[in-house]
Chains A and B, each alone.
Chain A
Amino acid sequence: MKNKEKKSGIGGLMRGLVRKQIFIPIAALVILTIFNYIMDPTFFKITLSPNSLGYNVLSGSIITILDNGSELAILAIGMTLVTAASGGQDISVGATIAIAGSVILRILCGGQTSPDTLQAPVIVAFLVACVAGMLAGAFNGALVAYFRIQPMIATLILFTAGRSIGAWINNNTLPVVKDPSFAVYGGFIPGIAVPTPFLITVACIIIITLVLKFTTLGLYTQSVGINEESSRLNGLNPAFIKFLTFVILGLCVAVAALIKVSRISSINYSVIAKDIEMDAILAVALGGNKLSGGKFNMAASIIGAYVIQFLTTTLYALKVDANALPAYKAVVVIALVVLSAPSVTEKISALGKKMKPKAKEVA
């Protein structure tokens, strides 16, 4: 058993780690952490101080990262499953966030632009948004699974049309929710010091962990992603499983949409969650998962999502020139993606072997 082998010395331990898929995103986190500590020793300071409503809440860069990375981490969950089963990615998640977010605001505002009170309970709005998100996912999933269109092409449709649909749901107005009780989903629950988005993310992670443990979703999606025909001959319904992953992603989109619109209690269809689909796909890739489908590591994807947020926050903290921001991000991303490629991981592990000749092969 690989994981029960005794590694001899640090070299062996290192190599064992390097071989693990989760190594790269964790290493990236560590490097970013060290870098930030050198640049600004207060980067890790976490303080407890009252917010504008008078409740004590945690604040600090790390809290900010955990807070702002929430939507991405939630989307990474769904995107990982879609990638595993279909061997492709959903590029419409940003646009469907606009749809689901618009649905939430439409119901909360009851069609008015900025009513003084909520016109419906938030839970109702959220559930309807879940239905909308899952419908969008079902649309994508049906195209991919039953019409056998490549995922990127199939989801291009909603990618293009989604934001217009979002605008149409609210009659092209930009509703604003004035009731402060709605802001808790993107802010703080009174009396709780941890940002709500992070709590929601933790809940999602717990749910997906339980789902993966108590259902066969993980085995089935990987099996379908690796060998569809073989899966079919083992009694699986590959089309349905692909379809299902898109619907699950739709649900993740609805949750992310709730957080997004709650953060500012409003929506702007053309810019809300802009480019988040690329970050979500990147999170899956940074997790060392094959974008062509098959085996996946959910934890690695989620950590990948926080790596991306960490990077964004770091770049803001460094105050890099606005014009150069995309370039900095691109350089770091390229480095990470190259490092997490399996062939490179192997090379690194071989290098480790050469450098520590004493750490003998474990026979």
Chain B
Amino acid sequence: MKENAILEMKGIYKIFPGVRALQDVDFTLCKGEIHALMGENGAGKSTLIKVLTGVYEKDGGDIFLEGLGKAAVIRSPQDAQKLGISTVYQEITLCPNLSVAENMYIGRGDGAVQNWKKMNADADKILQNLDIPARGAQQLSSCSIAIQQMVAIARAVDMDCKVLILDEPTSSLDEKEVEKLFGLMRDLKKRGVGIIFVTHFLDQVYEVCDKITVLRDGKLVGEYEIKDLPRVQLVSKMLGKELDDMSDIKSDALAYKGKDADTNVFEAVGLQSNADIKPFNFHIKKGEVNGFTGLLGSGRSECVRAIFGADRVIAGNVKKDGKEVKIKKPIDAMKLGIAYLPEDRKLDGIVGDLSVRENIILAAQVLRGAFKPFSKAETYKIADEYIKMLEIKTASADTPIKSLSGGNQQKCILARWLLTHPDYLILDEPTRGIDVGTKIEIQKLVLKLASEGMSVTFISSETDEMLRTCSRLIVMRDRKVVGELSNEELCQSSIMNTIAGGGTTDEK
């Protein structure tokens, strides 16, 4: 083993039926290092992590750990845990209805859960030590997502972990929370923990990491010191090609030039749902891309849910194509040609056990009606068409959607809604947890669709993504629309100002 290394993976192979997920991959992690693992969807990041944590059994290669004379045998997550390898996943895997302390000690088999008082006190000590603002006796679900994630990390740290794997930990955190998390990561680094950081956010990689290992198509591209690898190069290494300038996609796309470009496709006045948002006005023109922006929890998702009828609408009038309509439930909106890609892919989007094919045709099938099913041949034809069009990486149309990577799942959901041929498409965080390549593909697709006359409402936590795609932004704060920016007003600082309340419009 290399000097100072705590983990070395050598020549790892993993084969799934029809796919070589990992081929001869090496990976080295040193003590007190934050090491980014980068790659597109399906590059093999998750597979490598799962081999390391014992979720999958490797088909070849060796794993060495510091202080262990021979190659480590990791057959189950328990094995990995015993060897000091802990993982915190993108989706919180704790139990929300247990207390923080219970979550930290449960399932560790050391009898720690027997004395509640002591357990709470111990938990408090660790949380304090790591500067995590939570108490042991508190119910986990009462903490924010960020705190929950930190609790998961605290649990890992307390289990004497030497290798901590953070798999997309920041995708549902806002900026402040990300900062806090990074603080915690730096702290752990000082304590000598090796951290593997998997993320799609390039900024974050450059902010907190020391080294980057890039994977592509299941093979190792290389390991780099952060200072030796400029951003553009990183992206091109991940994609395997030189990247056309990312920030300039908007200018490539043609704006919609139809005669009806000025008509409102959708209009709402005083719309309010039972999801605790203030009534808001909204409209979108044909071929327009607009967006809701604001901090997490500012009510931007609730607004589009109200438009789609996903939450119960309690007030307001809506017009579709100039005609007064009632949208009480999603099917009403769907029949009017509105489509909605929900924010939480796992909970609201995919139907996990069903195949890619069934997931793609679902909404269109519902619109067709219960007595007009697509024939099996039709569904294969449709699915194959969209798999090709959106470049969905899947073994077959019959693969369960849950076994796809996040980005490919998202593409399936997108395919599902495109198949309904909507004239108004709502995308709530379509690029969350998705690699850079796919992100740009989706952005380009949105602009292309708009140029063909589709109206799109786009929501994203990443402001630059919004700036790249939207021509008008509705800004929200505290569950209320606080401003609207368009054209030349659109820039990072004006958005920040509006969110922060330095307000340009509408403020009383």
Contacts and interface: CB of A to CB of B under 8 A. Distances in A.
Q: Do A and B bind?
A: yes
B330 A229 contact: no
A163 interface: no
Given A216-B370, A216-B373, A233-B342, A226 B353 contact: yes
A233 B353 contact: no
Interface string B380-409: 000000000000000111100000000000
Interface string A208-247: 0000011111011011001101111111110000000000
A227 B18 contact: no
A234 B365 CA distance: 9
A219 B329 CA distance: 20
A226 B371 CA distance: 22
A233 B20 contact: no
Interface residues of A, number: 29
A222 B359 CA distance: 11
A230 B362 CA distance: 10
A153 B363 CA distance: 33
B15 A363 contact: yes
Nearest to B308: A233
A361 B60 CA distance: 14
Given A226-B354, A230-B350, A233-B348, A2 B363 contact: no
A313 B370 CA distance: 40
Contact of B371 (A2, A215, A219, A295): A215
A295 B340 contact: no
A235 B370 contact: no
A362 interface: yes
Given A1-B398, A229-B348, A235-B334, A215 B370 contact: yes
A294 interface: yes
Contacts, number: 91
B351 interface: yes
B365 A219 contact: yes
B331 interface: yes
Interface string A340-363: 000000000000000000000111
B98 interface: no
B490 interface: no
A229 B347 contact: yes
A230 B349 CA distance: 5
A301 to B, nearest CB: 17
Contacts of A2: 17, 395-396, 398
Interface string B332-375: 00100000101000011111111000100011011100110100
A220 B368 CA distance: 13
Nearest to B305: A233
Tell which of B351, B362, B363, B371 has the most Cβ of chain A within 10 Å. B351
A363 B20 contact: yes
A229 B20 CA distance: 34
A231 B351 contact: yes
Contacts of B371: 214-216
Contacts of B363: 234-235
Contacts of B416: 234
10 contacts: A2-B396, A214-B373, A216-B373, A222-B351, A227-B352, A233-B330, A234-B362, A234-B366, A235-B367, A361-B17
Given A232-B329, A237-B331, 13 more contacts: A214-B371, A226-B351, A226-B354, A229-B348, A230-B350, A233-B348, A234-B362, A234-B416, A235-B331, A235-B334, A235-B366, A235-B367, A361-B17
